[in-house]
Structure 1
Amino acid sequence: MGYLLQGLFGERSLTKVAGLFNQQSQAENTMAQVLSTAGLQAGQVRLLGPQHAYAPRREIFSRSMEPEPTGMARTFFQSHIVFGAAGGVLGLGVFAWFFRAAHPMILSSPLLSFIALVGFGTTFGMLLAGLLSLRPDHIRMITHVRSALRHNHWAVVAHPVDPTQTEKVKAVLEREASEVLTTL
C-alpha cells in the first residue's frame, strides 16, 4: 500500500511527525536523539521555536513544515491525472453497464449519455484529487504546531521517508514530548 501511495504522491516524505515541548533544551536534546536513533538526515528534522510563529517571513515556518514544494506540485498533477482517468473509466463502466442492460434513457440518446457519464466520472475523480491535494491532515498539524509556537512552546518536526523511520521517530517523540502529532 505504501508503494502505491508513494507512486501517487510526488513527495518523498508522506508522513510528518511533530513533537511539542515546553522548553528549548528538551526540544534540542530530542532532536539529537531523533537524528541518531531513527537514521534521519539533518534536512529531515527541523526545530521550531516561538520566534518562528511570529517571523515576518512566513516562508521559514512553511519550509519547515512542508519542505518539498516541488513534490507538492507533482502530487497535485499526478493525483489529478490518476483520479481523473479512474473517474472517466468508472463513468465508462457505468455507461457500458446501462447500455448492456438496455436502459431506455441510454438507448434513446447514447452519445449524450456517454458524454454525461464519462464527463461526470472524470469531474468527480478530479474533485477527489483536489481534496487529496489539499492534504487536510497536514493542515490540522500545521495549525496545531503554529498555535503551540504562539504559546511559547517548541516543536521538533520530522519528515521520515519510510515506515521504519516513522516508527522510530514516533517512539522517541512519545517518550520525550508533551504531545505528538502525526499525519497519514
Structure 2
Amino acid sequence: MSNDINGKVSAVYSDELKARAGLQSVLDNSGLSRTVTKLVAPHDNDFDKKLEKNDKQVGTFMLKAHLSFALFGVILGLFGAGILAFYGPAYTQASPVMTAIALSVLGFFFGLMLAGLVSLRPDQDGVVNQTREATQEGKWVVVVSTPSHEKTQQVNDILSETAESVTSSL
C-alpha cells in the first residue's frame, strides 16, 4: 500500500499581488508545475477542495489502510495466541481457542486504531487550520502539494522569504 497523498505547504499573504508573486516564485525556483499549486482567495468557502483535490484517492487510501492494518492485527493476535498456547501460563494453555479469539479481537481493534491515525494525517492539521483562519481574516493563501519531503522543505524555504507565515506537513 503506497501513500500517494503528498505533503502540503501553505503560506499566508496580506494581498493578492504578494500572493501571486510568491506563487510565481515557487513555480520559477522549485521545478513544480502549476497543477500542484493553488491560490485561495479571502473568504473562500471551498478552500477545502483546493487543499485536497482528489477525495476518492484519500478514501481509497483510508479503506486500504484500515483493511490491511486490521488484517495484520488479527494475524499478529493469532500468532501471539499460538505462542501463549504452547509456552504461556496455564490458563492460556488450557483454553487456546479463547486465547486466540481474545488476542485476535484485540489485534483487530488495535489495527483499526492505528490505521485511523495513519490515514487521518494529523500532520496536515496545521496547514488546514492556517488556511481556514487566514481566509476568514480576509488574507490570501498559497497552497502547494509537494511530491517529497525535500520538495516540501524547498517550497517552505521559498515561501518563507515573502509570506507572513508558512506551515507545512510532513
Same fold by TM (over 0.5)?
Answer: yes
Residue 3 of structure 1: aligned partner:
none
**Cα deviations by residue, 1:97-135 (Å, 9 ceiling, x for unpaired):** 322324212122111111110121012101211232222
- Residue 162 (structure 2) pairs with residue 163 (structure 1): no
The residue number in structure 1 matching 2:20 is 28
Question: In structure 2, how many angstroms separate the alpha carbons of the residues matched to 1:140 and 1:93?
Answer: 39
- Which residue number corresponds to residue 81 of structure 2? 95
d(CA) in 1 for partners of 2:92, 2:128: 48
* Post-superposition offset of 1:93: 2.9
Q: Is the 8 A contact 1:39 1:165 kept in 2?
A: no
**Secondary structure of 2:7's match?**
coil
Count of residue pairs brought into register by the alignment: 170
Question: Any stretches of 5+ residues in structure 1 without a counterpart?
Answer: 1-6
Q: Which ranges in structure 2 are unaligned for 5 or more consecutive residues?
A: none
Instruction: Give the alignment's TM-score, normalised by structure 1.
Output: 0.84
* Cα deviations by residue, 1:20-57 (Å, 9 ceiling, x for unpaired): 111211110010111121111111000112131xx3xx
CA distance in 2, matches of 1:147, 1:16: 17
Structure 1 runs of 4+ with >3 Å offset: none
Equivalence for 2:160: 174
Answer whether contact 1:8 1:78 (CA < 8 A) is retained. Answer: no
Cα distance change, pair 102–147 in 1 and its aligned pair in 2 (3 A): closer
Seq. identity, %: 26
- 2:9–2:169 contact (8 Å) kept in structure 1: yes
- The alpha-carbon distance between structure 1 residues 152 and 37, as it changes in their structure 2 partners (threshold 3 A), is same
Q: 3-state SS of the aligned residue for 2:141?
A: strand
SS at match of 1:62: helix
Please report how far the alpha carbon of residue 155 of structure 1 lies from its aligned counterpart in structure 2 after TM superposition: 0.7
- Output the CA distance in 2 between the equivalents of 1:8 and 1:124: 21
Which residue identity is paired with 2:50? S
Letter in 2 for 1:33: S
**RMSD of aligned alpha carbons:** 1.6
CA distance in 2, matches of 1:136, 1:149: 21
- SS at 1:176's partner residue? coil
Give yes or no for contact 1:16–1:183 (8 Å, CA) kept in 2. yes
Residue 63 in structure 1 maps to residue 49 in structure 2: yes
Q: What TM-score do the two structures reach when normalised by structure 2?
A: 0.91
